Amino acid sequence: MTDIKIIYLYAYSGDLVHCNQCEVNMLVPTGADKCPHCYFEGALQWINESRKETTVDELDINPEYATITKPDPETTEYLSDEVLKDEFDMEPNPKHKYKTMNKLHNKHPEKRPTGQCTVLELAKRLLDLNIGEELNFSENQDGSDYWGAKYMEVFEQQVILFGYYGGPSLQLYEIEKDVLADMVRHLGYHLNKKEEDTIFTFDVIKPQNEEAYKENIVSSYFFYMWNAWCKEECEKIFSWESPHFWEKWCKFAKDTACGAAEKYYADLSDGYRIMLVKRACEIYDGNSRKKQ
């Protein structure tokens, strides 16, 4: 099977680009210098140097592409603050700003690093972990902005799960393919470092009961799906994309809800799984519903 590129259509005709920040392929209004999907400025690059501009009609007849129509973005969604001010005399809309993690809330272990290595070496070490093993690391010697990565088996899939200590971030990488370059790039982004830069490693802080912790996430997911999941929840999580996800759910639960939560999870792609699991863990703590 050849790789079919999914293109989000943010314009009828315009520039065919890829965002290096959110990894989405898009057709954006001509001259866009900000990603209308994640609002990051300066991460757009051409998908195809020899065909920079195209139209929806051309994409639709090309078997290499599948398209998903998006709402037309406002000017403040695809032009950088600078261009808006200088060329259009317009004020940027604060709602259309890339949201970085709030690092102020990042607690960190008051510890000295136990080692250091380059970003590339770290990536290799992560990919060499055994199931259940974990690495903790930080861009800073004092342990601030501290990350943990763990190689886990979740629903029979092997993944590397990243967490931002004390922060809201959670990311998941499947590790079937050769992902070294991809891992280096993601680490570089999270840690704000280049491949050969130094990062610091720390002793892993053992949760009191690791198995219980894993069990808790899985329980939270199931109890959420059994007791709380509904159309409104679907809308909360997937917003305007929710009709698609609700329809998908209805297909799995059509004949019997038995096993639907597992099948639904398996059918979602990484990014959407994370959104769902995050929500489940917000609402449920294992088998008990949290107070809201």
CA distance readout (Å), 8 to 42, 148, 264: 18, 32, 23
Question: Applying CB under 5 A, does 27 fall inside the site for Zn ion?
Answer: no
**Number of residues in contact with Zn ion under rule CB under 5 A:** 7
Question: Applying CB under 5 A, does 80 fall inside the site for Zn ion?
Answer: no
Q: Which stretch binds Zn ion (CB under 5 A): 40-48, 110-118, 189-197, 219-227?
A: 40-48
Among 7, 11, 17, 19, binds Zn ion (CB under 5 A): 19
Min dist CB 172 to Zn ion, Å, is 18
Q: Which stretch binds Zn ion (CB under 5 A): 20-28, 67-75, 216-224, 255-263?
A: 20-28
Q: Which stretch binds Zn ion (CB under 5 A): 14-22, 117-125, 143-151, 175-183?
A: 14-22
Min dist CB 27 to Zn ion, Å, is 13
CA distance readout (Å), 90 to 10, 14, 29, 38, 80: 21, 22, 17, 20, 11
Question: Applying CB under 5 A, does 21 fall inside the site for Zn ion?
Answer: yes
**Residue 107: how many other CB atoms lie within 10 Å:** 11
Nearer to Zn ion, 37 or 190 (CB): 37
Q: Which stretch binds Zn ion (CB under 5 A): 34-42, 173-181, 202-210, 250-258?
A: 34-42
> Which of these, 10, 62, 12, lies nearest to 24 by C-alpha position?
10
Alpha-carbon dihedral of residues 69, 70, 72, 73, nearest 10 degrees? -150
Cα angle 155, 157, 160 (rounded to 5 degrees) comes to 115
Question: Applying CB under 5 A, does 23 fall inside the site for Zn ion?
Answer: no
Nearer to Zn ion, 78 or 249 (CB): 78
Question: Applying CB under 5 A, does 38 fall inside the site for Zn ion?
Answer: yes
Question: Applying CB under 5 A, does 35 fall inside the site for Zn ion?
Answer: yes
Nearer to Zn ion, 35 or 119 (CB): 35
Min dist CB 84 to Zn ion, Å, is 17
Residue 62 half-sphere exposure toward CB, CA atoms < 13 A: 16
Min dist CB 102 to Zn ion, Å, is 19
Nearer to Zn ion, 93 or 216 (CB): 93
Among 9, 11, 29, 37, binds Zn ion (CB under 5 A): 37
Q: Which stretch binds Zn ion (CB under 5 A): 36-44, 157-165, 170-178, 250-258?
A: 36-44
Binding site for Zn ion (CB under 5 A): 19, 21-22, 35, 37-38, 40
